[in-house]
Every structure is written in structure tokens, then in C-alpha cells.
Structure 1
Amino acid sequence: MIQTLRELFKYILPYKLNYLLGIGLLALTAAFEMFNPKLLGMTIDKLNTNPRSGLWEWLGYDSIQNVDPLSQSINLNAIYFYGSLILGIMLIKGVILYYSRYILIGDSRRIEYDIRMKLFDHLLALEPEYFDKNKTGDLISRLTSDLEQIRMIFGPGIMYSFNVAFLFLFALFNMISINTTLTLLAIIPLFFLVYIIKTVGRKYYDQSRIVQEEIANMTAFVNENLQGIRVIKSYVKESFILGFFEKINLEYIRKNLRLAELNGILRPAFVLIAGVSTIIILLYGGQAVMSQTMTLGQLIEFFRYIESLGMPLMAMGWVISIYQRGTAAYSRITKVLETEARITDKQAYSYINSLQGNIELRNLSFAYDNRSHLALDDITFEIKKGEKVAIIGPTGSGKTTLVSLLLRLYETPDQSILIDGIPIQHIPIKVLRKHFACVSQENFIFPDSVLENIQFGATEDKDMKEIIDVATIAQFDIEIDSFPDGYHEMIGERGMTLSGGQKQRLGIARVLTAEPKIFIFDDSFSNIDSATEKQILTSIYHSFKDE
């Protein structure tokens, strides 16, 4: 866990000044916390003393000859004075505490943002093959619940850790100044905490990882089944899916209960140790008061120091769980961050910024990972710029695989695919893909407006006339005009409000905004009638024949 925390704390560096300020304010808060026991002890000792002595000199009275009703008034003045002082200190402490929390919790949110952006950016850089092997729900869990656990380390974890540390140091100093022997006796039980934390901590870390994995499994299950809700309803499988979800939910509860058991050990342990310390103070401190080696005010002051440590010490059980769960969550995130993208621009020539569109395949063979048979076997052909070529074959013959390889979504052997005579490994990925426009049979539709879905393919914002032009080429303009909100019509999740043919025509309009050099239609007219298909292809040809 220590190594994981070292890796985590590198994210604090951009905010180190803020953290130093926040921690400094926590130290001030702890210092002000120590004033209350001191003032309370002084008040009791002064009120417990004959009014001819200490109290009067302390309040500025030179001498009092006789105890009269005025002494009672002066005692009340002392109470009012100390009470006002304590109230003022508490107000100052409250203001400082507010700003310390504002700084530390605010920066923890910024660190959460930084890690989430880093993780999502890394996911975007990974090839589709990674997503073929990892569930979407699991990745969503890492971006959400796992990151929240990590944020808790940078916020409440750090805040409460330093708060307890400062309170302990200041209280220890003051306790030693009152009675060294009593202080040593009072803190002896605290050493048992080290053993408890060491014993329970490792088990808590391991169980936290198991719980986080179970959250990921549940998220993945819900995500997959909500996406396939129409299939579930079509086959009347609601009861079956609900039963399966119940098993996952019960397993999640069972593993969380085990985590609660471990967490339940810590808090009672802190309470027990605090109770033992209280008994020791009462026995030894009571004897010290009776033997007049301590005053009553000092004993109460000592108790208040222990009491001021009580709640923070009990909170340490929660803080330890924060660190354990946070480090377990970070180990899941590092698995993603440590996954290296295999398709990169390491071999790319930076001077290449445009392509003509000549395609050549040389003895191309390809197999997906963990599969023994080849998806493509020794494919060789050449397509010149401006040529129209149809590649046909039965289902599973590798047509879609070929499209993926041309877009370099999967890696291929060097010199097996060339564009303008250049191996695609030497062409920058962005340059390569911006010259291709691929429309597949199943187009992903974003839950946004028709306009935003069409414009998604553009490298720069298009004006309304250009959007209407590409929709017209795709033979989709008339239907868009029939929508209540036209081009601003909102589309449901994954385009559920559109028909299959409408989705395909929207996909065609989208790729046209990219103004590519190479068009690829991968069975993208399967839901479009032949007459409309012919109109679309003719319109595309006439619109791009000079490019």
C-alpha cells in the first residue's frame, strides 16, 4: 500500500502550495483546539482558589481585604471572561476550519478531474481490441466509483490524518507539561492500535479490491442489459434477467458485509482503547489530585485533551478504510494506465499531412488474438485513386476485418498495407483516418440532435447550408424536415427513435461532412431500398468526382 500511496501523491504536486496552506490551517485549527482545555483548567483552578489569591491579581485587583458579595460578582466576571474567550476562540477556529476544508476538498476534486481526464484520454488511445476483451461497465466503474474512492484519499483522508496528527502532537506536549508519568500511562494503550491496524489493514485492502471488482461486475451487467432491453422484452426474459441480477446483487451485499465486519473491528477497538486511557487517567490522576501533586483544574484539562483526541481517533478507523479502499481502487486504474497502446505513431513520418488515395495490399494475412484461424489469408490487390471497387464474399469472409485494417484499428505486418506507396505504419494515424470515410451496417448514433450527429464527422464546424447539402446527398433531408424540430430533433439512446434505413442515411451524411479521399461502404445500404441506394451513390459520385 505504501508504494501505491507514493504513486498517488505525485498528483498532489501541481497543487502542493494549496495543500501546504490547507495543512497549515489545520495546524492552526489544532492549536486553537488546545486553548479550550487550558482555559477550562485555569477557570476551575481560579474559581477553586480563595478569592484573596491568584484570581484577583489575574483580573487586575491589587488587594481584597474581606470576602463579601463583591467576590461572587468577580467570580462571575471570571466565568464571563473565560466563556467569552472560549467562544471567540471557537469562532476563529470555525473560520479557519472552513477554509482548510474548502482548500483541501476543492483540490481533491481537481485531482479527481486530472486522473479521470488522464484515464479517459488513455482509453481513447487504446485500440478496439482492448475493448473487445474488457467490459464497458467495468471501465465505467473505474471512471466513476473507483475514482471517487481515490478522491477520498486526497480530501477527507489527508485532512483527517493531519488533523489527528496535529491534535495528538499538541495534546501530547500539553499533557507532558502537566504530568509526564500520567501522559505515558495514558498513551500506552494506543500502541495496541499499531497491531490492530497492521492485522486488519491488509485484509481490508484485499476485501476492498474484491468489492470494487464486484461493483464493476454489477455495472457491466446493468449496462449490457439496459442496452439490450428490447431483446430482453422481445423474448420475455425479464424474470430471468431479474433473477440473475438478484444473484449478483446478493454477492455484492455479501462481500460488502465482510468489509463491514473488518471495518467494525476498528471503531470498537478505538473506543475500547480510549476507555482504557480514561480509566488510567481517573485512577492515577485522582490520586495525584488528592495528594496535591496536581490541581483539579489540571486533571480536568488533561481529560479534555484526551477527549479532544477521542472523536479524531475514532474517525481514524474510517480514515484507514479510506486509504485501503482508495489504494485498492487505484490498483484497478493503474491496470488500465499501464496497458500500452500498440497502435501508435512511433514509426510515422511527421512530414506526411495529405494522401492521394491509392491503396495496395501485399500478401496481407491477419488473425485476431486468441484465434487460431486466419481472418484474412494472403490478400493482394491494388486500388487506384478514383476507382470504384466492390469486394464481395459470404458472411465471415473478412470484409469488415479488411476495413478495420485499412483504418489501422488493428495492427498489421509491415509492408502489407500501403497508401500511396507508403506503409500505413509510417502514416500519422490522424492523417490516415481523416482521409477515410467508413459507413458500416450498424452506425453508432449519439443521444443528441440530428444536426450534432451529422456534424460529428466534420473536422470543423459546418454552416447550416453544408449540413443540408450532405443530408440531401444522403437522401435524408425530406425526412429530417418532417421531424417536429427538424435538424434539432433529439435522437434517443443509440438512435432508438430512428429506423434502420434512417440510421444508415444519417451515417452516410455524417461521413460526407468529413470530405474524405476514400469512401468505404461496409454493407451500409442493407436497410435502404435499391432505388434510394442508387440515388445516394450517384449523388456522392457527382459531388466528389473531382477530388
Structure 2
Amino acid sequence: MRELYFLNQYLKKYAIPMSLGILFILLTNIFSASVPVLVRLGLDEALKQSIWISGSGDSLVMGLIFKTALIFGIAILLVSVIRGIFMYYMRQTLIVVSRKVEYDLKNVLYDKYQQLGEGFYRKHMTGDLLSRMSEDVSNVRMYIGPSIMYFANMLFTFVVVIYQMVQANASLTLWVLLPLPILSVSIYQVSKRMNLGNKVIQEQLSLLTASAQETFAGIRIIKSFGMEATFSKKFQEEGEEYKRRNMDLAKINAMFFPLMLLLMGLSTLLVIYLGGKAVEDGTFTPGNLAEFVIYLNMLIWPVASLGWTTALVQKAAASQKRINEFLKVESHQTEVGKPFALSSEIAVNNLSFTYEGKTLMSLNGVNFTIKKGEIIGITGKTGSGKSTLAQLLAAMYYGSAEAKSISFDGVPLAEIDLTDYRRHLAYVPQDVFLFSESIRENIAFGLEDGKASDEELQRAVAASGLLNDISQWPKGLDTILGERGVSLSGGQKQRVSLARALIKKAQFYILDDCLSAVDSETERNIIDQLQGWLKQSTAVVVSHRIAPLKMANRILVLDEGSLTYMGTHDELLVSCEYYKNLNDSQSAENQIEGV
């Protein structure tokens, strides 16, 4: 339950509408408790008049009884209408507040997701992230709205109704409330089992959501390997487990609600039996008995809703715990750092890095410097640490201790304002991601206002070798892409991603194997454009292709996370056997292709 303390900030934020909602609940209950009183007064008055009729036989008294019944009927109707009005505003205030809290919490969680680093997303599946933002936040909303509303209603109903019952007959009230301690113990025991049940249900729901998301994201691979049946079976198994856990919780609820109704039924029998005897003895009027029965019926729904409310609270506690797990993860940067500046050099000093959960080091004691305006090439075998180094330079692991090993003009990356740094950085990752928007919007994405002039677009498109492709697209640059750019080829995706980086006109470029999916001729044309484009910038070019590396001032060769060689293209052809073999094999390929 302590997990729900996080929500206190929203209760304070919306204290005024929440207080009004609670006030409306109180007024609703006061007018509700007035109805049994009117019934008692009306019934007793009618009984008196009926005795008078039987004694006098005067027909005029019949009209008096009708008039009395009409007066009390109108009074009860008026009280019920007023009660209905207050109930309407009760729901309008509390339920609306719960929707506002849901909106706020989703925004907080969404903002938090954007502040977390690459390490976080390596550990958590997209489906789990979405489940916490949708299903878990909805469960929390049910706590803020219906749960608080029904609990407050139950509390006020008990106070108002029991007060009225004690006023009518204190001893009978004591007999009626006798089963309540048993009910309280039952609620306590069941709520503990509900909390555990809701926790495992939400965990399984996250797995189910993640499984569905992964299936839809990789549907082309699944179909190409004919694995539809296998994935359907896997999803069905996850669904069966989710159903089983829900059924276990439903069994608990199935025992809980009948138990409450049984105890309330016993209370009703006690009222009718003991109240009937009191009427017989003359210490209780029939109106009092009717009043008591109505009061008892007024208690049935609040008591019945107590079980449902308990389930909502336990479910919300389990969901908020899952939300808090992510909210407590340390963000990339919690304080504004120093402004980014690059007037001298970038220094990488004894940089080592190991991915969380792994034992093998991805980088081990890497040292080098990049002068301002210099282009550095990075190559090496698969798994040598090239992309890891690019990601660290791009501040993808900004919050890690390793970020202190990278400095700009002597200032460690961990101390530089992250927003300002990325404003001057253009990064093309190895894994290209395009949004389901137009090609124009995808290219202009890197600009702060998201808008680019036609001239800027044409220059970026030309530099990335996309000019000949524009005519192939139905609406040119305004063609809407499918999810993740599914309507483009691998090479086209890479070139759109490159254009997105180039149009930014950044001080520092990191290009991670961004030409691996293009043919040799297109590659040469792009490199010719890049050499002029990057002339005023500092750049790191990661590639296993020789052609992009040739435009670098110096080339670093990585092997199993260590920097083994560093030099120009010509120097490495002499000193580094791996680089020489790579150059020879690609030169032979180019000759075969006629390039």
C-alpha cells in the first residue's frame, strides 16, 4: 500500500475538486438517510388515522389519509431528486479528477521514458513499457476515482445510518452490527491474497503485451520462415496463463462476495425478528421497523462495494508499484550541466565498458583524441566494439560512469548539459528508425522546429544520394512511409537517415555504418558529397567498408574491445594485416563489379 503514497501529490493538486466531491457524498448520504425517516413518520401517521377510521367510520378521514400519503410521497420524491443532483455532482467531480490524474501520470511516465538511457531499453521490452503506461495507469485511475468515491460513500453511509439507527433503537442496532467484525477480518485476509493475485496478473499481462508487440513488429520474418503456427501457440500459452491467474483471483472474489451478502442477510433476519417482537411488545412502532429495514438495505450496497473497492485498491497498489519501478530509475541528467563547446579536441581516456548483465568487456582501455575539424574512421571485426564506442560518444549511456572517460575541451561528457550537447550532435545509428510520417518530415526531424526550406531539403537529399529516388515515390518527398519505413528499401532507409543528420548542420557527426546497404557506385557519390559537407565539422565514421574510411584523417582499428591500430589509410595498409586484407578483398569485389 505504500506504493500509493506517490499519488498524494495529485490529491493535493486537485484538493479543491476532491473536497467538493467528498462534500457532495456527505450531502447525498444525509438526504438518503432522510427518506427512511419520512417513511416512518408517514407510516405511523397513516396507521394512527386508520385506527381513527376503524373507530369513527367517517369517510372524510379517508381523504385525510390520502392527503397525508400524498404529502409524504411528494416529500420523499423531492428529497430523492435533491439526492440525485448531489450524486451527479459527486461523480462529476471525483471521476473527472481521476481522469486528470490519469492524464498527468501518463505524461509523467512518458517524459520519464524519454529521459532514460540505452541501458534501460536493452533490459525492458516495448510491450512492457506500453502495458505500464496503459493498463497500470488505468488501474491507478480506478483507485483515485471509483475507489475513493465508494469508500467515502461507505464511510459516510455507515456514520449517518448507524447514528439514525442508534437514535431509533440502540440495542437492536448492536444486534444488527454483530456480524461486522467477522466481515472486517474476512476483508483483511482476502485483501492480502488479492494484492498478490493482482501483482502476478499485471506481470503476465506485460508478457502478453510484449509477446504481441514483438510478433507484429517481426511479422515479415515470422511469415518468411513459416513460423505463424509456432508464434500463435506461444501467444495462446501466454494467454492461457493470463486466464489461469485471473481465474484464481476470480475464485477468491467468488467466495468473498457471497460471504458479505450472507452476513448482511443475517442482519436483516435479526432486524425482522427482534424488531417484530418489539412491535408486538409495543416498544417499537411499525414505522420504526420499516425505517430499520430501509437503513439496513442502505448498508448492503456500501458493504458489498467494500469488497470491490478493496480489489480496486489492491490492483492499484500492484500497478503503482510497477510504475514506481520505472519512475525510480535514474534519469540521464537530473541537473542542468555545462554548455557544450568544442574548440580544441575530444579526448577518450582509458574508456572501458561492459553491458549490464554481461561479463565480457565490450571496450577495454581505449585511448585516442579527435581534433576539431578532424574526421576519424573506426573499423574492426564484428563484435569488436565499434557501435558501442559510437553509442558512448553519442551519450546513449550518458548516466554511466564511463561517460566521464569522454571529454570535450577538457570537460567530461557527464558534466555537459545533455540537451545542449545533442543540439550540436547528429547521430546516424546502425539500426535505422523512420517514423510513420512523410519523407520530408522524417528528414526535417533533426531540426528544432521540425521544418526545413526546400533549398535545405534539396541539398541534404542530394548529399545523401536520394535525388534519383524521389521520382519513384508516389508523392515525392511528401510520400507517407509505413511503420518504421517499411515501404523503403534498406539502402533508401539508410540514406533518408543520413539526410536527416546532414540537414541539422551539426558540429559533431557520428555515422555508424550508414552506407552498408548501398551499392558501390552510390556509395562513392555519397562519399564525394560527404567530404565537402563535413569539411566544417568534426566527425566519427564507423564502417567495415574501406571507401568511407578513406575520407578519414585517421582510422582506428578495434579488436575484441581494444584499440589495436591507429593511422592513416596508407599507414594501416602497411602496419595492420586485418586492414590490408579488408582493403584487398573489397578492391577485388569492386574490380569484379567494374567499379
Both structures adopt the same fold (TM-score exceeding 0.5): yes
2:306 pairs with 1:284: no
Pick the aligned partner of 2:62 from 72, 76, 80.
72
* Deviation larger for 429-438 or 246-255: 429-438
Tell me the distance in 2 between the aligned counterparts of 1:477 and 1:181. 92
Alignment of 1:419-430 (within 5 A): 419-430=408-419
* Deviation larger for 352-361 or 254-263: 352-361
Aligned residues of 1:33 and 1:93 also touching (Cα < 8 A)? yes
2:423 pairs with 1:434: yes
Structure 1 52/130 Cα, relative in aligned 2: closer, same or farther at 3 Å? same
Aligned residues of 1:407 and 1:432 also touching (Cα < 8 A)? no
2:131 pairs with 1:141: yes
State the SS of the aligned residue for 1:391. strand
Aligned residues of 2:4 and 2:320 also touching (Cα < 8 A)? no
Q: Which runs of 5+ in 1 are unaligned?
A: 56-64
Pick the aligned partner of 1:446 from 435, 454, 463.
435
Deviation at 1:414, TM superposition (A): 6.6
Aligned residues of 1:345 and 1:425 also touching (Cα < 8 A)? no
Deviation at 1:302, TM superposition (A): 0.7
State the SS of the aligned residue for 2:14. helix
Aligned residues of 2:342 and 2:372 also touching (Cα < 8 A)? no
Question: 1:409 corresponds to which residue?
Answer: 396
Q: Which runs of 5+ in 2 are unaligned?
A: 538-595
* Deviation by residue 1:374-419 (Cα, 9 ceiling, x = unmatched): 2122222222222223211111111101101111222354763222
State the SS of the aligned residue for 2:505. coil
Q: Identity over the aligned pairs, expressed in percent?
A: 34
2:265 pairs with 1:275: yes
* Deviation larger for 179-188 or 486-495: 486-495
State the SS of the aligned residue for 1:377. strand
Deviation at 1:68, TM superposition (A): 2.9
Aligned residues of 2:337 and 2:418 also touching (Cα < 8 A)? no
Question: 1:389 corresponds to which residue?
Answer: 376
Alignment of 1:321-332 (within 5 A): 321-332=311-322
Aligned residues of 2:394 and 2:510 also touching (Cα < 8 A)? no
Aligned residues of 1:345 and 1:428 also touching (Cα < 8 A)? no
Alignment-mate amino acid for residue 356 of structure 2:
D
Alignment-mate amino acid for residue 12 of structure 1:
L
* Deviation larger for 98-107 or 71-80: 71-80
State the SS of the aligned residue for 1:409. coil
Tell me the distance in 1 between the aligned counterparts of 2:337 and 2:227. 53
Question: 2:296 corresponds to which residue?
Answer: 306
State the SS of the aligned residue for 2:279. helix
State the SS of the aligned residue for 1:456. helix
Kindly tell me the number of residue pairs found equivalent between the two proteins. Answer: 533
* Deviation by residue 1:328-360 (Cα, 9 ceiling, x = unmatched): 11111111122223x4366x753x244347322
Deviation at 1:320, TM superposition (A): 0.8
* Deviation larger for 74-83 or 94-103: 74-83
Q: Name the TM-score, length of structure 2 as normaliser.
A: 0.85
Question: 2:217 corresponds to which residue?
Answer: 227
Question: 1:59 corresponds to which residue?
Answer: none
Tell me the distance in 1 between the aligned counterparts of 2:352 and 2:497. 29
State the SS of the aligned residue for 1:330. helix
Pick the aligned partner of 1:191 from 181, 184, 206.
181
Alignment-mate amino acid for residue 156 of structure 2:
F
2:367 pairs with 1:355: no
Question: 1:25 corresponds to which residue?
Answer: 24
Question: 1:46 corresponds to which residue?
Answer: 45
Aligned residues of 1:435 and 1:516 also touching (Cα < 8 A)? yes
2:252 pairs with 1:265: no
Aligned residues of 2:439 and 2:479 also touching (Cα < 8 A)? yes
Structure 1 42/468 Cα, relative in aligned 2: closer, same or farther at 3 Å? farther
Alignment-mate amino acid for residue 477 of structure 2:
Y
Question: 1:459 corresponds to which residue?
Answer: 448
State the SS of the aligned residue for 1:460. coil
Deviation at 1:473, TM superposition (A): 2.6
Aligned residues of 1:51 and 1:67 also touching (Cα < 8 A)? no
CA RMSD of aligned residues (A): 2.1
Aligned residues of 2:441 and 2:451 also touching (Cα < 8 A)? no
Tell me the distance in 2 between the aligned counterparts of 1:488 and 1:99. 49
Aligned residues of 2:345 and 2:371 also touching (Cα < 8 A)? yes
Aligned residues of 1:138 and 1:217 also touching (Cα < 8 A)? yes
* Deviation by residue 1:256-287 (Cα, 9 ceiling, x = unmatched): 01100111122111100110000100110000
Structure 1 273/546 Cα, relative in aligned 2: closer, same or farther at 3 Å? same
* Deviation larger for 117-126 or 226-235: 117-126
State the SS of the aligned residue for 2:347. strand
Question: 2:90 corresponds to which residue?
Answer: 100
Q: Name the TM-score, length of structure 1 as normaliser.
A: 0.93
Aligned residues of 2:49 and 2:61 also touching (Cα < 8 A)? no
